[in-house]
Amino acid sequence: MQTSDLRIALFSGNYNYVRDGANQALNRLVGFLLRQGAAVRVYSPTVDEPAFPPTGDLVSVTSLPIPSRSEYRFPLLISPKVRADLKAFAPNIVHLSSPDPVAHQALTWARKRSLPVVASVHTRFETYLRYYNMSWGEPVMEAMLRRFYRRCDALVAPSESMAQVLREQRMNFDISIWSRGVDREVFNPGRRDSAWRQSLGIADDEIVIGFLGRLVMEKGLDVFSDAIDDLRRRGVAHRVMVIGEGPAREWFEERLPDAVFVGFQQGSDLGRAVASMDVLFNPSVTETFGNVTLEAMACALPVVAAAATGSESLVGDHISGRLVRPGAVHQFAEALRAYIEDPALRARHGAAGEARASDFGWDRINQAVADTYLRLVRRQRQH
């Protein structure tokens, strides 16, 4: 059996209607599988004006806007029409990418037909509760996730650090690594643009601390702004550049009145913006991989990040950046100060990060997922 024999039903809670690292990885995976001759059918909520065109065939599932976060949709159920589409497609493996109600129903559907099921883990959903004053609910959320993931035949996680967390949480014991790649045509030090920086009012000799990501509280915006306040109180000269959009932008702008907000960027514009920073600051603990961390490393930037899943598998502490205890504002500020004041340290750690980023090529990474599919299908056929 080979990749071209696969028929994959992929269920996503957000395949293309709001752009994020997870769904861009899924679209890249589908593109790779289609080039290898596999058949793929994607089932996800849809909207009239998605963030980007879907890769492959996309079937809409019933969903509702999420209260207070209406840009996202909550998958509700697999309708009779979708069930008929599934039956006609006749998958030989099912891939679930978010533990929502539709994924639960798809899992039951696959189990009744003795089809293997793989789940990919893109987000630490249980940690989101901390940002909405509901941390008391983490054990309950973790138990719900465990029930879902243990019904699956295997999991794929984007980093070894995340895989270890899943093992410790007893989510599953068949866990493979589906890492993330980086496009070196887009992300490289040559994209740095002094003229563009100057157009934003940033002088060549000013050191830019960058934030890259969706502007939502669970990305650690409070810790980021508190650390910047710490630097300002100590009189450490710097500038802040924020790349991204999201519902918390107004809050973030009020907290960082001197920052340059460049909004959402993509493609070569994103590569230019990242390379035009001097250090990336990523205090988030919700990522399972940290695409933004890898993109900054590819641009030869040192990274100051929370010592959490994702970044721990990418950043070498005191080698290509600094890993700091989550929420430790003063320690984050001290790590940033060292890079601001020591250009040789900045250059040395940035070069080490760029070398590490060269290990992440998309085709090799996506083949690891195809290999997991093939292993599970072969095992199911042997039984």
Looking at residue 136, its pLDDT comes to 56
Over residues 36-48, the mean pLDDT reads 97
How many Cβ atoms are within 10 Å of 381's Cβ, its own excluded?
A: 10
pLDDT reading at 56 higher than 50: yes
DSSP secondary structure code for residue 53 in this structure: P
pLDDT reading at 249 higher than 50: yes
Residues in the chain, overall count: 383
The strand pair at 57-60 and 175-177 is best described as unpaired
125 class by beta-carbon count within 10 Å (0-12 exposed, 13-18 middle, 19+ buried): middle
Task: Say if CB 177 and CB 159 are below 8 A apart.
Answer: yes
pLDDT reading at 76 higher than 50: yes
- Structure token digits, residue 249: 């932008």
Among the listed residues 363, 359, 362, the one whose alpha carbon sits nearest the alpha carbon of residue 3: 363
CA distance 124 to 147: 15
Q: What angle do CA 198, 210, 360 make, to 5 degrees?
A: 115
How many Cβ atoms are within 10 Å of 117's Cβ, its own excluded?
A: 23
Among the listed residues 200, 76, 66, the one whose alpha carbon sits nearest the alpha carbon of residue 128: 66
- Structure token digits, residue 97: 């990418």
310 Rama class: left (phi>0) / alpha (psi -120 to 50) / beta: left
DSSP-derived secondary structure for 352-373: HHHHHHTT--HHHHHHHHHHHH
Q: What is the mean pLDDT of the chain?
A: 92
105-155 tens-digit pLDDT: 999 999 999 999 999 998 755 454 455 556 655 677 788 899 999 999 999
Instruction: Please state the pTM of the whole predicted model.
Output: 0.72
Distances (CA, A) of 169 to 23, 101, 126, 172, 278: 25, 21, 11, 8, 37
Looking at residue 159, its pLDDT comes to 83
Sequence spans of domains, the chain:
3-181+361-382, 189-357
Domains 3-181+361-382 and 189-357 share a fold: yes
Looking at residue 383, its pLDDT comes to 76
The CA dihedral of 282, 286, 291, 295, to the nearest 10 degrees, is 0
275-320 tens-digit pLDDT: 999 999 999 987 767 789 999 999 999 999 999 877 888 999 999 9
Q: How many Cα atoms are found within 13 Å in the side-chain-facing hemisphere of 60?
A: 9
239, β-bridge pairs: 208
pLDDT reading at 7 higher than 60: yes
Q: Please determine, looking at this structure, whether the domain spanning 3-181+361-382 carries the CATH number 3.40.50.2000.
A: yes
Please tell me the CATH superfamily of domain 189-357, with its number. Answer: Glycogen Phosphorylase B; (3.40.50.2000)
**Residue tagged 């990242």 (tokens):** 274
